[in-house]
Structure 1
Amino acid sequence: MATIRKRGQAWQVQVRRDGFPPITKSFRSKADADGWARETERQIERGELSGQGRSANRLTVGALLQRYEAEVTSRKRGRKFEASRIRTFLRSPLANVAAHRLSAQMVAAYRDERLKTVSGETVRRELTVLRHCIEIGRKEWGAPFAGNPVRQITLPSPSKVRGHRLPEGAEASLMTALTRTRVWYLRPLIMLALETGMRRGELLALEWTNIDLKARLAILTTSKNGHGRSIPLTPRAIAIISEIEVRDIRLFPVNANAVRLSWERLRKRAGLGNVKLHSMRHEAISRMFELGLSIPEVSLVSGHRTLSCLQRYTHIKPENVAEKLARLSVRSE
């Protein structure tokens, strides 16, 4: 509500609302003070004002991002990557802009400048962080945004599917190259990825206590999307796990960078060009469909929670479909 007081020769108005710092202004006439108070309250109700006031107007985009990193990013599983994106913003001129002055044109200028040096997907992910930061700021922290400038611009298009299936003969080349490596964990890691469709991080986090051979399950307490799941183990996967020597509480007590470097050396030795370790997941999920598993069954194994995400990992070979149709045609005759 608005409070109007006579102070000397002026009329002072103070508008107070829950979630907003007090907004104060002085006028020469009471009629002007009344009119400003009513208009200010209408703007707050319509969402056109958000946390205005001297203290709010001193808030910079950089300060808002730092609070977001401390209170929101720090609780995420991908905090390391998101913190890196926030540091990129903090090094940019955008960080020094007063939050209430941030415009869609400024965000678009940041986008265009970044696109000169990094991929569209990188810029898209950075702007997604800024967009969510502004939403939290304006809805929960009283940050002075009438709207969200990031929502007013066009984001770079999403990247194409990050991985693909293994090329013809690639698995045989991998197995041959694995016989010539001294890195003990590469063979079981790659074979388990092909059998289970598990991500690299999930395999590296897998502990012996997560393995239930009697129930034929690998139990993940958490994953990339924050949800745990139980992965059915094939007979081949069980055989691979049974052959791994217990060295630690984890099946693979190595870090992600060591795996990355070992994979790069193996990939070159196998002559696989740009094939990524993540391609094992694409291959595994595609094979599950070709074996006849249903969408819910494959989702249970892969951990995808939406059909659109699952489809990005599914690459059915047309020749396999043709062969299946031929078999069905024979049965129907």
Structure 2
Amino acid sequence: MASIVKIGVSWRALIRRKGHKGLCKTFQTKAQAEAWARQREAEIDRGEIVAEPGVLRVNEVIQAYRELRDQSRPIADTANEHYMLRRLADGLGDKRAGALSTQDLVSYCQMRKEEGAGPYTINMELSKLGTVMRYAGSFLKIALPDVTGQARPLLNHLGLIGGGGKRERRPTEDEIIGLLDQLKQPYSDLVRFAIATAMRRGEIVKLCWTDLDSEKKLILVRDRKDPRKKQGNDQWVPLLGDAWNIVQRQSRDNDRIFPVHEQTVSKYFKEACEDLGIPDLHFHDLRHEGTSRLFEEGYEIQQVSLVTGHKDWRHLRRYTNLKPVDLHREKKVPE
């Protein structure tokens, strides 16, 4: 119940609720103060005025961000963003959002480093936290600190966050053969397909039989990754080389061509690398391998981009790690 107190010739309305910032305003008449107090209390009851930043937990802010995204662009359970939010909630969820400090983020980054995350991965998670605090704060009508911006100089100095750099890792032929022997179906074919098409893991597991054009030997990759367009970026991709045959031998008992979970692919791929003693090889490196092979087979950059989906050819260079020995191949002399 609001407290209405006469202060001189004016009337002050004061609302105090546990877990909420106190609301106070002065009016010329008692009736105005009471009407304002009733309206504010109703807004609190409806959840339109939430807990003050000092009380709100990071977990609640993350949940508010998810609810906000549900209204525009829902976060899929298989999306990398979902897992980043879950890691942030696990590591920082019980912290007070309004009192989150640089030291809190240093501790979080050190914990992630001990878990095996690299500077680029941690940097991406911190960027996501900044987005969450900014958008959810506006959604909840509260001011949250830009703690990620404040912490970045120190985190950079400590080497806890950093850029992705350029990976040069390509699997050797022996490593590929070993992985294909080690992995069971459909995971071995999925690896073959990843190399043949240079597709991302998430793109492969979403491919459906209804997206296959058998006459033209094309497959429709839906919502392909694009920094400027998050949805509707569908692209027809030619199934070159062995890619078409790999698709044709898959079971048609499911709507998807490779009916497996994105995270399961990573799990089995990582386990196979560990069992075989293959160091520092990621599933995404197969995209590098596939792209490089297309160049080595003689395709021009504009042709390769039709397969990989790169809009900017400059970005395509970071996936192209040609082997120096391949330059010794005999060039064909035009007749």
Question: Structures share a fold, TM > 0.5?
Answer: yes
Residue matched to 1:82: 84
Would you say the 8 A contact 1:163–1:276 is kept in 2? no
- Mark the CA change 1:139 to 1:310 in structure 2 (over 3 Å): closer, same or farther: farther
With 308-317 and 188-197 compared, the bigger mean Cα shift is at: 308-317
Instruction: For structure 2, list consecutive stretches of 5 or more residues without a partner in the other structure.
Output: 1-5, 14-20, 28-48, 114-118, 156-160
Q: Equivalents in 1 of 2:254, 2:7: separation in Å? A: 78
- Post-superposition shift, 1:206? 1.7
Instruction: For structure 1, list consecutive stretches of 5 or more residues without a partner in the other structure.
Output: 1-6, 15-20, 28-52
- Post-superposition shift, 1:217? 0.7
1:207-228: CA deviation from partner (whole Å, max 9, x where unpaired): 2222212112111223455433
Counterpart pick for 1:68 among 52, 62, 65: 65
Residue matched to 1:299: 305
Would you say the 8 A contact 1:206–1:251 is kept in 2? yes
Tell whether 2:103 aligns with 1:109. yes
Q: Give secondary structure in 2 for the equivalent of 1:184.
A: coil
- Mark the CA change 1:124 to 1:264 in structure 2 (over 3 Å): closer, same or farther: closer
1:201-259: CA deviation from partner (whole Å, max 9, x where unpaired): 32222222222121121112234554332211114222222233433222223334543
Q: Equivalents in 2 of 1:215, 1:142: separation in Å? A: 53
Backbone CA RMSD of aligned residues: 3.9
- Post-superposition shift, 1:300? 3.1
Residue matched to 1:190: 191
Larger radius of gyration: 1
Q: Equivalents in 2 of 1:138, 1:258: separation in Å? A: 34
* Structure 1 residue ranges, 4+ long, deviating more than 6 angstroms after superposition: 10-14
- Post-superposition shift, 1:185? 1.8
Would you say the 8 A contact 2:194–2:286 is kept in 1? yes
Question: Which amino acid is 1:87 matched to?
Answer: A
Residue matched to 1:43: none
Question: Which amino acid is 1:192 matched to?
Answer: F
Would you say the 8 A contact 1:286–1:315 is kept in 2? yes
Counterpart pick for 1:149 among 141, 147, 167: 147
Q: What TM-score comes out, normalization by structure 1 length? A: 0.67
Residue matched to 1:45: none
- Post-superposition shift, 1:275? 2.7
Q: Give secondary structure in 2 for the equivalent of 1:118.
A: helix
Residues 138-217 of structure 1 mapped to structure 2, 5 A cutoff: 138-145=137-144, 148-154=146-152, 156-161=161-166, 164-167=169-172, 169-170=173-174, 174-175=176-177, 178=180, 180=181, 183-217=184-218
- Mark the CA change 1:24 to 1:65 in structure 2 (over 3 Å): closer, same or farther: same
Sequence identity percentage? 23
Q: Equivalents in 2 of 1:189, 1:87: separation in Å? A: 32
Q: Equivalents in 1 of 2:271, 2:51: separation in Å? A: 55
With 67-76 and 279-288 compared, the bigger mean Cα shift is at: 67-76
Would you say the 8 A contact 1:203–1:252 is kept in 2? yes
Would you say the 8 A contact 2:64–2:140 is kept in 1? no
- Post-superposition shift, 1:91? 3.5
Q: Equivalents in 2 of 1:88, 1:305: separation in Å? A: 36
Counterpart pick for 1:277 among 269, 283, 287: 283
- Mark the CA change 1:69 to 1:246 in structure 2 (over 3 Å): closer, same or farther: closer
Residue matched to 1:131: 130
